[in-house]
Amino acid sequence: MDTTHDGRPRRNEFRRGDARRPTLTAALCAIAGVLFGSGVHASGLRSGPAAVDQQRLANADEDPGQWMSYGRTWSEQRFSPLTQIDDTNVGRLGLAWYADLNTYRGVDATPLEIDGVLYNVSAWDVTTAYDATTGKVLWTYDPKVPLKWARLACCGPVSRGLAAWNGKIFVAALDGRLIALDARTGKPVWITQTLVPGQPLSVTGAPRVADGLVVIGNGGGDFGARGYISAYDAQTGRQVWRFYIVPGDPAKGPDGAASDSVMPMAAKTWTGQWWKVGGGGNDWDTIVYDPRLDLVYFGTGNGSPHPQAFRSPGGGDNLFLCSIVAVSARTGRYVWHYQEIPGEEWDYDCTAPLMLADLEIGGRLRHVIMQAPKDGFFYVLDRATGKLLSAKAYVPNTWASRIDMRTGRPVIYPDAYVAVKPHLQTPSAGGGHNWNPMSFSPLTGLVYIPTMEQWMVVSELPKGQCQFVLGRSTLCAGVNNYPELRKRLNREAEARDKGYLLAWDPVHQREAFRIPYPHPGNGGTLVTAGNLLVEGTIERTLAIYRADNGRKLWEMPVESVPVAGPIAYSVRGKQYIAVNSGWNSAIVHGLTSGDRPFSVGPARLLVFTLDAKGVTLPPAPPVAAIPPPPATEEPVREVQAGATLYSIHCAVCHGQNAIGSGAKDLRHLGPQAHAAFDDIVLGGKLKQSGMEPFKGVLTKEQVEAIHAFVIARAQEDWQPDFLHPPKRK
């Protein structure tokens, strides 16, 4: 950990343990009313759509009715100072309005609300501005992302949010275009392509604005890409800097990027010819900005290929995989890093949300950055220096016993390393906490984490069997070796799933309370000064709890799972709570009960307020029965070949071991889909739904092998007791 930067961070307005609820004084309210009535904001910026600038966002707590950035403020605490809806009256909450998003795809986005306009982005980056009080559509922009890009996005054509600055709304499209829209009309002002040509990259994360620069990362570490993060001038779209996360081909010399000064240091931690398999490290989701230190922090992803032996055969830390990296916001130059998992090989990419806070630790006020990443440890670091202050497991953990506070490195169990022989491990690749936003209340001093306990079967392909193909999966996970052991371990993993909302004390690194759910898959959280804790649940409801003790106060069925982060805002003195409800088909075991699949309605944007009446959601479609699998006996060799091909080409979207959910679960195909399997995979029958054809990538014989594997998996997991799958010879 190194630093070349100093500065004095601004303290949060509300301290941990302060029992007072933040409110505007009467004088400030009067001043604000005069300013807004005259068309001028307190920052001095002329009012208008998306009138956000450095001063206004830095003083967001003085304008608590707005949600101007992904996490409301630059700290990304997702804490709303609003108190009109509180723990005494939330039972009066009703649905004020909703908007159909015209998709059954996942909707992961946190909306923005600025001066009475709500900005939202749905699947395929379709962006809409609404009147925040009525839901009236003001404009819609469709970037018309080519459907083939769904193949390069591991988790579907989702977007996690938008950014706003000086009258513009910024959309980071799946195909890499960064698009600045006029906030008044929805018309493009400028468009910049952020992706390096020839790389299997895509963008699903929300852009952030750091003092007039729009910062965005990308995904692709599962497909052989080299990760980087870039910043663009918000006014013109001109690229200002780029920081590569892993080193490139040494023979090609420097990249001409902000990362050039530290790439020689990073290269010393790699071995072999890593650049030929991409390296990975992609920052596909998390970015946070500290305006006082003028630093941009980002989390980095998994390696490519996943098992280290295939990308860096001599070992090494493989910088900057699975790290928190701090760079200068203006120049992109390296300031410090902290690597959470040296040589990461379990797909524990450290891209879960980052959060800034001021905490009193050991009698001293510390300006910290916090993260609860997939690896199951909760990290607290000094955000000026990167010094690790504490790290404790927040979920059960079998890969590392602890984090050594002297070295900052995990103490890894010897039998946790990836090998050809499978073993059972937790957290799973889905993590103890994934991308779903967590929140922090300065009033309770607690972080609220959407938490999962899931297990996974860990193994790698035998030496020589991991064949790198750019743009194809680089999981390199074993699928056929030790079949009986693998089957037993998979059954154990499926039976151990748990999900809960965890309230975590980051100062003392301990659990305060938890709210259990029947399965993992609950959504992002919001906490308010009204002592409210808001979360979408796997039971297809939106639920609200007391933030201080977790007692449920209110819940409403919403026909789908609100996996996204909720927001709170106020217009003309009336408070609202809004959330996107659109299940993203995450890998969750056990959702299907008997012969009934887990079923959801279409995705919608939902907006609630006190005493709202007369608006109801249409009923969800009826739950269909899971059709029985074909009774054919598939040849063992063909099934084994299909398992390998499935792992390479299909698992990233449809789940390892063919365990998906929702529309992605291939075990639940009906007779028509089985009959049309070749036409779907090779002929493009479902191209308009995002299933690009694999013609030219797979042969007919290979597709038949994959189909045989899918049928075999459906037979193995067919649940009705009266049907027993045929035994294979």
Please, where are the H alpha helices in 60-106?
none
Q: What is the DSSP letter of 589?
A: T
Residues 6+ apart with CB under 8 A from 617: 95, 98, 558, 559, 601, 604
DSSP string, 488-509: HHHHHHHHT-EEEEEEEETTTT
- Strand pairing class (323-328; 295-299): antiparallel
- Tally Cβ neighbours within 10 Å of residue 142: 12
In angstroms, rounded to a whole number, what is the distance separating the alpha carbons of residues 632 and 634? 6
Beta strands per DSSP E along 341-434: 354-361, 364-371, 377-382, 388-393, 400-403, 410-412, 423-425
Q: What is the DSSP letter of 202?
A: B
In angstroms, rounded to a whole number, what is the distance separating the alpha carbons of residues 547 and 567? 15
From 86, 317, 347, 382, the catalytic residue: 347
In angstroms, rounded to a whole number, what is the distance separating the alpha carbons of residues 588 and 723? 24
Contact between residue 716 and residue 175 where contact means Cβ atoms under 8 Å apart: no
Contact between residue 181 and residue 169 where contact means Cβ atoms under 8 Å apart: yes
Contact between residue 412 and residue 403 where contact means Cβ atoms under 8 Å apart: no
In angstroms, rounded to a whole number, what is the distance separating the alpha carbons of residues 355 and 211? 18
Instruction: Report how far Cα 591 is from the mean position of its chain's Cα atoms.
Output: 21
- Strand pairing class (525-528; 79-80): parallel
Q: How far is CA 150 from CA 244, 314, 514, in A?
A: 24, 34, 36
Q: The tokens of 213 are what?
A: 């620069």
C-alpha triplet 55, 59, 63: angle, nearest 5°: 115
Closest CA to 105 of 45, 153, 62, 143: 153
Q: The tokens of 571 are what?
A: 């217009």
Instruction: Scan for tokens 């992605």, then name that residue.
Output: 664
Closest CA to 119 of 72, 77, 158, 162: 162
User: At residue 154, what is the residue type?
Assistant: C
3-class state of residue 195 by DSSP: coil
In angstroms, rounded to a whole number, what is the distance separating the alpha carbons of residues 57 and 37? 20
Can you state the angle between helices 700-717 and 636-649, rounded to 10 degrees? 100
Region of 680 on the Ramachandran plot (φ > 0 left; ψ -120 to 50 alpha; else beta) = alpha
In angstroms, rounded to a whole number, what is the distance separating the alpha carbons of residues 124 and 144? 7
Contact between residue 542 and residue 556 where contact means Cβ atoms under 8 Å apart: yes
Strand partners, 575: 570
Instruction: Report how far Cα 187 is from the mean position of its chain's Cα atoms.
Output: 28
User: At residue 610, what is the residue type?
Assistant: L
Strand partners, 128: 120, 140
- Strand pairing class (239-244; 439-441): unpaired
- Would residue 6 show up in a list of annotated catalytic residues for this protein? no
The sign of the dihedral angle between the CA atoms of 658, 664, 670, 672 is: negative
Strand partners, 357: 368
Q: What is the DSSP letter of 482?
A: S
In angstroms, rounded to a whole number, what is the distance separating the alpha carbons of residues 641 and 154? 23
- Strand pairing class (295-299; 239-244): unpaired
Catalytic residues: 347
